[in-house]
Amino acid sequence: MRICLILEGSYPYVRGGVSSWTQGYIKAMPEHEFVLWLIGSKAEEKGNYVYEFPDNVVEVREVFLDEPLRIPAPKEGRKTVFTEEEFAEHRKLLRAERPNLKVLAHLYNTKNIHINEFLMSETFLTFTMNLCQTHYPYVPLTEFFHSLRSMLLPMLYMISQDIPEADVYHAVSTGYAGLLGSLASTRKQKPFVLTEHGIYTREREEEIIRADWISPYLKQLWIDFFYMLADIVYTHATSVTSLFERAKKTQEELGASAEKTKVIRNGIHANRLAAIPLKEPDGYIDIGAIVRFHPIKDIKTMIYAFYELKRMVPNARLHIVGGVDDEEYYQECLELIRTLDLKDIQIPGVVNVLEYMEKLDFTVLSSISKGQPLSLLESFAARRPCVTTDVGNCRELISGEETDSFGPAGFTVPPLDTERMAEKMEQLCKNRTLRIQMGENGQKRVRQYYIHHDMIDHYIRNYKEVLQQWQVSASN
């Protein structure tokens, strides 16, 4: 089987949850060929990989979101005459309503129409003026024009991309990756599988709400745009998978058909972590955060919580282990540590987690958005309980599903709640017996429900099912 895996903003450019998952996923299927269709933010990232591709990666395609900014204007005198149907689909785009992807793909992919023939046309300007006057009267026309253009430019550029050959297309998010998967399925008449580790649309919505580069009057337009992309992706996907039941329900609320959705849990190589011994008492309580520096990880809340903890547990140490996704945020965290005059925080960067886990008594996660974190599963497999924010699937991982009787493997606290986080960390710091018991509960839970080869078996079975479903549909 030839599988085209479509990824946005993750593997192989950065390390972390989805990237680690992807590397292990490809390695676990040596009998299958993989084509990687990669979306990066900047063209300067081209070829700058932090992973070495497994041997069964047979093709790599890269596309970057800043590339359309360098596309020259169409030649003078060249003018496309759009049909009324084509005009109608562009109007839907401008209103963030789901367009007919076949019509747009025929224009910008099959006919290879220059994307600026629309975005630099009088028609686009007229549409923009009417929309601005009708719905955004308090936004300057120039600001609205450039915002709308910058929103549509990467989308139309994605639609114009050449499509690699594959038996099945598999996107690991909605957004632009899901759009490419939808395009490939539409043009190549092959099945398209969507997997969401987190709900991409909700994550973009949170980012847009916090963003200071978008006018408050235009934030809803950008949010609607990403919801429109999700609608396109859910409509065209043959199968929609998520990591846990609440995420599946969210996908259905956002428009995915319940007939398409299913849960495939994450899985890890638990035996390697189970062999790690517990840390022997040495006078310190060592807390680990296996996390990348990025605003969505909310490391500042963790630092503030640790500051509170140090007043109650002077011998506590915090290890923030991982790479830097956002240099500005990283520097802000370092400045916060200096301002609070915290001496017992270690930041070793990217390390071998298997080796570093031996130094830790338990772990902590402070993210404001999460799916089913691999770092939490790895902590459990190594018998380290965790204090984590109540986001994504973390509560179920800590406490267990309805049929799970293993007992709690740590504590969940509300996001942004430094006091509760410090309080729960204090409980684990002061009670080694509780740490050991919760760690054993977590290890049992992982061994029962989150094993890597089980996860791979479920995905392979899903591929076979969608291929068979597609063949039956084609024959009819």
Q: Rounded distance, CA 438 to CA 407, Å? A: 7
pTM here?
0.91
Q: What is the pLDDT of residue 300?
A: 96
Label residue 435 by pLDDT band (50, 70, 90). Answer: very high
Average pLDDT of every residue of the chain: 92
Maximum Cα–Cα distance for the chain, whole Å?
A: 78
Q: What is the pLDDT of residue 474?
A: 66
Q: What is the pLDDT of residue 87?
A: 84
* pLDDT tens-digit map of 63-88: 999 998 887 776 665 666 778 888 88
Q: What is the pLDDT of residue 127?
A: 86
More confident residue, 134 or 241: 241
Average pLDDT of the residues in 244-262: 95
Q: Which helix (H) or strand (E) holds 317?
A: strand 316-321
> Bridge-partner residues for 345, per DSSP?
318
Average pLDDT of the residues in 459-475: 88
Q: What is the pLDDT of residue 455?
A: 96
Helix (H, G, I), strand (E, B) or coil at 321: strand
Identify the residue whose tokens are 């709400």: 209
Q: Rounded distance, CA 106 to CA 411, Å? A: 52
More confident residue, 135 or 251: 251
Helices (H) and strands (E) in the chain, counts: 19, 13
Residues 6+ positions from 189 with CB-CB distance below 8 Å: 474
> Which of 450, 420, 225 is closest to 305 using CA atoms?
420
- Buried (b) or exposed (e) across 459-471, using 16+ Cβ within 10 A? bbebbeebbeebe
Considering the chain, what percentage of its residues have pLDDT values greater than 90?
70
**What is the dihedral angle through the alpha carbons of 213, 217, 223, 229, rounded to the nearest 10 degrees?**
-100
Average pLDDT of the residues in 321-328: 90
Q: Rounded distance, CA 422 to CA 413, Å? A: 10
> Which of 319, 284, 302, 323 is closest to 420 using CA atoms?
302
Residue 59 confidence (pLDDT) above 90? yes
More confident residue, 109 or 32: 32
Residue 472 confidence (pLDDT) above 80? no
CATH 3.40.50.2000 range(s) for the chain read 271-449
Average pLDDT of the residues in 302-326: 95
Label residue 181 by pLDDT band (50, 70, 90). Answer: very high
Q: What is the pLDDT of residue 113?
A: 80
Q: What is the pLDDT of residue 76?
A: 66
Least confident of 53-57, 148-152, 361-365, 420-424: 148-152
Domain 271-449, what fold?
Rossmann fold (3.40.50)
Residue 463 confidence (pLDDT) above 80? yes
User: What are the phi and psi torsion angles at 293 (to 5°)?
Assistant: -75, 105
Residue 359 confidence (pLDDT) above 90? yes
Q: What is the pLDDT of residue 24?
A: 94
Q: What is the pLDDT of residue 79?
A: 67
* pLDDT tens-digit map of 1-27: 999 999 999 999 988 789 999 999 999
- The class (CATH top level) of 2-263 is alpha beta
